[in-house]
Structure 1
Amino acid sequence: MSSRGVNNLRFNQDHGCFSCAMESGVRIYNVDPLAEKLRLGIESVGSVSQVEMLQRTNLLAVVGGGAMPKFAENAVLLLDDSQRDMQKKLVMEITVSQPVLGVRLWRKREVEQKSFISLIVVLRNQICVFGIYSDDPQSAKHLVTLDTRDNPKGLCEVSPASDRPILAYLGHKRGSLQLFQKMNFLGQIGQYVESQWGLASFTVAAECACICAFGPHSSVIAVCVDGSFHKYVFTPDGNCNREAYDVYLDLGDDLEF
């Protein structure tokens, strides 16, 4: 946990927003321009260890954690912030057997005019995927479980444009990439292809955990757990400059929620 109470940071899928899981609840920010869009206080969600937003929708996946959790660390809650009261915000709760290390939400495709969404739950020794229809989340069903005990910290992504869920899992061997579709092994890459390094160098606060993403017009956004926000621009010849700096946690403090 950071000194500002930030437990976890995540960009949404188009990098236009980022979510902040905190000891004091949940905050959602727009990237460009930087602005606070949502604040759920500790009275509503307690302290939170993980939060993930679905693109630019009102659907959030939240996992309890920290010093004053309202929800268990092995439960994933789907919240719909378009509703006004907390009872309506709680759309669905999924409880698993182990503490949740991470969550991801993906909009998959349109099926008979319904938006199909996948919820990925990362546990210590496995990754679970649930299929969800946004107009009826209660019908969610478990699609697949991957055994990841060889590398419990492996990186997992989902193809956003397939007829059936495809998982890409970065395994424990260097450069090992496995694709899964309903537990069918599709391929593996055992080594890196030609690489180039050192195009540009960016410096943020020392010893401060950050997340980063590419922005428009050759820019890189860095969001740090100390509450700082950085935007850098770079050129093909390696020149880079910090174009913007702000403290996102100070935004919205004078607003009423």
Structure 2
Amino acid sequence: MNLSKPSSSSSAADAPGLLYAGFNQDFGCFATGLDSGFRIYNCDPLKEKMRKDFEDGGISIVEMLFRCNYLALVGGGKNPKYPPNKVIIWDDLKSKGIVELEFRSEVKNVKLRRDRIVVVLANKVFVYVFSANPLKLHTFETIDNDKGKRPSMSNTGKIKNSNSINSSGSTTVMTTNVSIIPAHSGKLSCLSVNSDGSKCASASEKGTLIRVFDTSSGKLLNELRRGVDRAEIYSIAFDQSSTRLCVSSDKGTVHIFNLDAILGNGASHSPNNGSYYAEKVINNPMLSPSPSGNRQSSFSFMKDLLPKYFSSEWSFAHFKVIADCRCICGFGQEVNTIIVICADGSCYKFLFDPRKGGECVREHYTRFLKDLDE
């Protein structure tokens, strides 16, 4: 997730020289792209694991592949290390780039799997076999995607779900099944897929609703309300079991939602258990626990007659970081924990109560980028 913004709208709280911050696939590590190179950190406990300083330029994207030695790099900043239209596959054991992919326009995002490289441009998505000589498998046309959201964007507010099928036999044939999910009426702002690809979650530019879909059928599974005020969603993350979701925004708030009804069984969810709630609903007597333990309107039984506000579910746990800054979040390696990385160069660890919910407890706070010269 790229935490940078155009200089005209960047916050005074932003860490100088920070161009990018993003988790690896299991949220055990995160990478930062800087005006002077990149760094890799272990999340819990927070510890710098590797750094690479370049005298001749900056890195705007650092995509990790779990904890292995391969990284995808894209140049950026005032003086890019590499042209912004190139993806460099970096081998840290050799301390050099071993693969170079060049495109006709600026690279907006890169995602890695052990067998695939996915490159996102403003209007296209390319999928390659991850090898010494990457073979291009697919090219997908998308709407304008300047923020480099995860691939599979189609028409405005819709998700194009593409499943590749590898046919066996004497000849390998790659075919693609494509389905369209009408996710939102407005443009998509954030999109996330769970670890096995069975669920996807999305938010629009309005940032008030998060919807979760079954990727095989396109069925709406959950409609979750972050709030009523407009916000820019910077990250949506599933936990490893795909039973919970955490969401962060430019307001410095993080919300945790239950996705399965069984999680709410036997739980005690008082609407007053917490002193802070960004959207000011925790003390609202019109909200009551839903079967999942999330909060919902007391008038939800009339959802067929009332606006969608009354049928969607609110988060069961939440917290706010110190500064009102952009942040990304993920579920920690330790049970019931959330790790948060902020644009001001800070890292948080919060603990949530899976039964009571409410306001989370801050367990750890560190500024990982106190000074880029350290």
Q: TM-score range by the shorter chain?
A: 0.7 to 0.9
Q: Aligned partners of 1:64, 1:250: CA distance in 2, in Å?
A: 23
Contact 1:154 1:171 in 2 (8 A): no
Q: How does 1:44-55 map to 2 (within 5 A)?
A: 46-55=57-66
The structure with more strand, counted as a fraction of residues: 1
Question: Residue 183 and residue 209 in structure 1: after superposition, are their counterparts in 2 closer, same or farther (change >3 A)?
Answer: farther
Question: Residue 204 and residue 171 in structure 1: after superposition, are their counterparts in 2 closer, same or farther (change >3 A)?
Answer: farther
The residue number in structure 1 matching 2:363 is 243
CA deviations over 1:37-56 (Å, ceiling 9, x no partner) = 1111122x721111111111
Contact 1:129 1:142 in 2 (8 A): yes
Q: State the TM-score, normalized to the length of structure 2.
A: 0.56
The residue number in structure 1 matching 2:125 is 127
The residue number in structure 1 matching 2:351 is 233
CA deviations over 1:164-208 (Å, ceiling 9, x no partner) = xxxxx2544546452242562343433533433221111014441
Offset, 1:151: 5.0
Offset, 1:250: 3.9
Is 2:321 aligned against 1:204?
Answer: yes
The residue number in structure 1 matching 2:47 is 35
Offset, 1:209: 1.5
How many residues align? The count is 225
Is 2:201 aligned against 1:82?
Answer: no
The residue number in structure 1 matching 2:263 is none
The residue number in structure 1 matching 2:110 is 103
The one-letter code sitting in structure 2 at the alignment partner of 1:200 is A
List runs of 5+ in structure 1 lacking aligned partners.
108-116, 158-168
The residue number in structure 2 matching 1:161 is none
List runs of 5+ in structure 2 lacking aligned partners.
5-13, 165-173, 184-219, 224-312
Q: Aligned partners of 2:352, 2:86: CA distance in 1, in Å?
A: 41
Q: Which of 28, 32, 35 is the matching residue for 1:16?
A: 28
Q: Aligned partners of 1:194, 1:173: CA distance in 2, in Å?
A: 20
Question: Residue 226 and residue 252 in structure 1: after superposition, are their counterparts in 2 closer, same or farther (change >3 A)?
Answer: closer
